[in-house]
Chain A
Amino acid sequence: MKLRTIVAVAGLAAMSLAACGSGAGGSGEDVIKVAVLDAQSGKFSDFGIDVERGARMAFDEINEAGGVTVGGKTYKFKYEITDLQSDPTVAAQAAQQAVSGGTKILIGATVSALTEPITGVVQRSGGQVLQIGMATSLDRHVGKKDPIFRTLPSDEVMAKQYIPVLRKEFPDVKTIGSLMINDAVGQSILKIYTPLFEENGFKVASQDTFPSDETNFAPLLQRSAKDAQAFFVGYTDPVGKAVVNAALEAGKAKIFFNRGSVCQVGMEFGDKIDAFACQIVGDDPVKPSSDEAKQWFAKYEREFKTKPNANVAYAISYYDTVYLLKQALEKAGTVDDVQKIADALRGAQYKGISEIGFDESGLSTTKIRVGIVRKGELSVHEGAPLS
């Protein structure tokens, strides 16, 4: 009796393993499992909530339109959203759980602290799992043999599109002061942006860093270069706002070049400041660049019953990424072979609400726009072409 039970269980296990391997969903609908891993609670949830919604909109639209046709068969996306609770340990566990459950595509995360643990799981899978995320930490892994992709261009690529526009729009600004959070991301930003500023004719007269939990910015502004005509600040919204406040109080320069995508901070100050520049990824809800974008924001507001804020620009990035993924799956002709899907992503371009894509090595070629707020009014400029 006991032997029969063991054989029966082993047989069932073998059958279900075979089903997983073939990508078939048994007698049910054929599905492509995708795990969306990001923070829905805790300090990083501000980005996580919006990007998850963007991905969800795309998955639902694609499924409602009939799904994805791969190798003559139609599949629906079966996505599972996991709250990483802004905790790197939870990120690692959730990624491992998804992979152990047979998921081969992981989307996430938007911040480096949560993305690195996921990347670790992906790398340990030996090329069996694909990761698409947004965080800066992915720059160390993209463009190599692992199927890892970053939807946003690297800081270097963004800076090369951003700084020439600043040069053109602010011809009278010759010297700038730099104020940046003192962590790995901040240090990396300074390393990239400082020489590019100098190349474009901006003299970086002072460069100061501060802890990420700094609240007293007044001494910092006292310390910064007295002849700075503008400030390069980064890289979070609270920091941007605090620096502007402190600069106004100290009677310093009123032009701010933000390393970040939030123009809203600049708009809140209205005509108290001369200008505030930011990098727009996706599209800006305050001034959508097309009717399509306008309709997309309206749909977002209807579906989630909330007015799109500045972070919803990132939701567009994930929305378009899901469509790019659909395109890659159809081109690859497989839902299981991660290397073929990754190869199909390399060199792929997609024009949705924004224009996203990857070059042949897998590096993002996503174009950015540059937002400049003057007297509370936002103007949007195309990023400089890359040579």
Chain B
Amino acid sequence: MSDLLLVIVFGIMQGSIYAAVALGLVLVFGVTDIVNFAHSELVTFGAFGIILLTPLLGFPPALAITLAGVGIVAFLLYHLGFKFTIGNHLQALVFSLGLVLIIQSFMVRQYSTNPRSGPELEGVLNIPGVGPLSWTRVVVLVALLLLVVAFTIVLRSSWVGLALRATGDDQAAAQTLGMSPRKVGMYAFTVSGVLAASAGVAIAALYPVTPLTGTQFLMKGFVVVVIGGLGSASGALVASLAFGVLESLGATYIDPSLTNVYAFALMIVVLLLAPQGLFNRKVGRAG
């Protein structure tokens, strides 16, 4: 029984990282209708930021600079490119793919594909009835859950959150109330950058990171966004956790070589039963 619980905890852990990646995607898509593949590079920036800065500055300043820095990068990417592609999906897609190629080539050239690890805590916590979990894993899990809660509160209670939700629901109506879509798009990109950086920091603490790590997590992030429903943050969260647990259980008790199969099989099943995703608010409202 304890083995099963441990595997489920690992799954929730993995799912929380997928959630951190997916929330940024959901936010940007929900507000601007842009599918941003370059989100993977923001995750990579977050991971490399914390890895490179922690030995120089210590963890707290490195974390603050990494989160702020990647947020600024996302802000600049929006202003220098993405804002001109709003309304043209193909253009936005091509632009984001181009960014991925450029940034990845630069990062590989600069940092090679030798794996690097981020800051971690020593020791394991033995949870009765579950088993050993590294302190790093425990802290990352708690931090990511707090992040998701904070994100939800900001989305529901702040003016920025209201603008994001309103523009996501009905851009024209939001515009009549003085919410400029381009300005709200800027908020969405900046916040998604911070979310991506948070995911990157978490990933760096748990796994060896290379310049290609962001892309590995982005694919899974897209799958959970599709399962949860494009534009639905709560959908992405639920889908991420379910997805992570399914992956863990499948890898442990069925066949670890098929973890990608479980992911895409779940996506296909959900899309057959609920083509709009499990929690798609947009389609619900339009109905």
Which positions 218-256 of chain B face chain A at CB distance < 8 Å? 219, 244, 247-249, 251-253, 256
Q: Judge whether A46 and B260 touch: CB under 8 Å.
A: no
- Taking a contact as CB atoms under 8 Å apart, the answer to whether A209 and B3 are in contact is no
B210: which A residues are within 8 A, CB to CB? 238
**A181-208 at interface with B (beta carbon < 8 Å):** 182, 208
**Contact between chains at B256 and A209 (CB < 8 Å):** yes
Flag whether B113 is at the interface (Cβ < 8 A): yes
B248 lies within 8 A of A216 (CB): yes
Cα–Cα, bound, A216→B244 (Å) = 9
A246 to chain B, nearest CB (A): 9
Tell me which of A45, A211, A219, A222 has the highest count of chain B C-beta atoms within 10 A of its own C-beta. A219
On whether the beta carbons of B115 and A241 are closer than 8 Å, the reply is yes
Q: Considering the chains assembled together, what is the distance between the CA atoms of A209 and B257 in angstroms? A: 5
A242 and B137 alpha carbons, distance in the complex (Å): 14
Q: How far is the CB of B177 from chain A (nearest CB, A)?
A: 42
Instruction: Tell yes or no: B153 within 8 A of A by CB.
Output: no
Contact A249–B256 (Cβ < 8 Å): no
Give the nearest-CB partner of B106 in chain A: A41
Residues of B contacting A264 in the complex (Cβ-Cβ under 8 angstroms)? 114
User: Contact between B208 and A245 (Cβ–Cβ < 8 Å)?
Assistant: yes
Q: How far is the CA of A40 from the CA of B137 in the complex (A)?
A: 36
Stretch of B6-14, B51-59, B79-87 contacting A (4+ beta carbons < 8 Å): B6-14
Q: Across the two chains, which residue of chain A brings its CB closest to B122? A: A272
Q: Which residues of B contact A223 (CB under 8 A)?
A: 251-253, 256
Measured between C-beta atoms, what is the minimum distance from A342 to chain B in Å? 33
Contact status of A211 and B259, CB under 8 A, knowing A42-B104, A216-B10, A245-B208: yes
Q: Evaluate contact between B117 and A241: CB separation under 8 angstroms.
A: yes
Which of B108, B208, B212 has the most A CB atoms < 10 Å from its CB?
Answer: B208
Q: A43-B212, A49-B109, A223-B252 are in contact. List 18 more A-B contacts (CB 8 A).
A: A41-B109, A42-B104, A43-B113, A45-B112, A45-B113, A210-B251, A210-B256, A211-B257, A215-B217, A219-B11, A219-B256, A222-B6, A222-B7, A237-B114, A238-B115, A241-B208, A245-B206, A249-B137
Closest-CB distance, A267 to chain B (whole angstroms): 13
Interface residues of B in 1-26 (CB under 8 A from A): 3, 6-7, 10-11, 13-14
Q: Beyond A215-B217, A216-B10, is A238–B208 a contact (Cβ under 8 Å)?
A: yes
Q: Does B91 contact A (CB under 8 A)?
A: no
Q: Which A residue's beta carbon lies closest to that of B3?
A: A222
Interface pair A242/B132, CB less than 8 Å apart: no
The answer for the CA separation of A182 and B261 in the assembled complex, in Å, is 13
User: Per a CB cutoff under 8 Å, which of A46, A238, A250 touches B132?
Assistant: A250
* Nearest-Cβ distance from residue A110 to partner chain B, whole angstroms: 12
Q: CA–CA, A46 to B210, complex, Å?
A: 11
Whether B133 is near chain A, meaning CB under 8 Å from some CB there, is yes
**CA distance in complex: A264, B116 (Å):** 11
Name the residue of chain A whose CB is nearest to the CB of B210.
A238
Tell me what chain B mostly uses at the interface: helix, strand, loop, or mixed. helix
15 A-B pairs with C-beta separation under 8 A: A43-B113, A46-B113, A182-B257, A211-B257, A216-B259, A218-B13, A219-B7, A219-B11, A219-B247, A220-B256, A222-B10, A238-B208, A241-B117, A249-B124, A310-B114
**Range class of the B interface residue count:** 35 or more
B248 contacts across to A, CB distance below 8 A: 216, 218-219
Q: Is A213 an interface residue (CB 8 A)?
A: yes
* Residues from chain A with Cβ under 8 Å of B115 in the complex: 237-238, 241-242, 265
Contacts of A219 in B (CB 8 A): 7, 10-11, 247-249, 251-252, 256
Residue-wise interface mask of B (157-188) relative to A, using a CB-CB cutoff of 8 A (1 in contact, 0 not): 00000000000000000000000000000000
- B207, A242: Cβ atoms closer than 8 Å: yes
Smallest CB gap from B137: residue in A: A249
- Supposing A209-B257, A214-B259, A215-B207 touch, asked if A249 and B134 sit within 8 A by C-beta, the answer is yes
Residues of A within 8 A of B152 (CB): none
Give chain B nearest CB distance to A304 CB in angstroms: 13
User: Does B88 sit at the interface, judged by CB under 8 A?
Assistant: no
- Contact yes or no, B132 A222, CB < 8 A: no
- The chain B residue with its CB closest to the CB of A210 is B256
**Cβ–Cβ contact B259 & A45, under 8 A:** no
Q: A41 to B211, alpha carbons, bound, how many Å?
A: 12
A258 to chain B, nearest CB (A): 13
Q: Which residues of A contact B256 (CB under 8 A)?
A: 208-210, 214, 219-220, 223
C-alpha spacing A40/B260, complex, angstroms:
29
The answer to the question of A309 belonging to the interface, with a C-beta cut-off of 8 Å to chain B, is yes
Tell me if A43 and B216 are in contact (CB < 8 A): no
* Closest-CB distance, A45 to chain B (whole angstroms): 5
1/0 contact string of A237-263 vs chain B (CB within 8 Å): 110011001000111000000000000
Which residues on the A side are within 8 Å of B134 (C-beta)? 249
Residues in B with CB closer than 8 Å to A222 are 3, 6-7, 10, 252
Tell me how far the C-beta of A5 lies from the nearest C-beta in chain B, rounded to whole angstroms: 45
Question: A251, B124: Cβ atoms under 8 Å?
Answer: yes
**Do A210 and B257 have beta carbons less than 8 Å apart?**
yes
Q: How far is the CB of A328 from chain B (nearest CB, A)?
A: 32
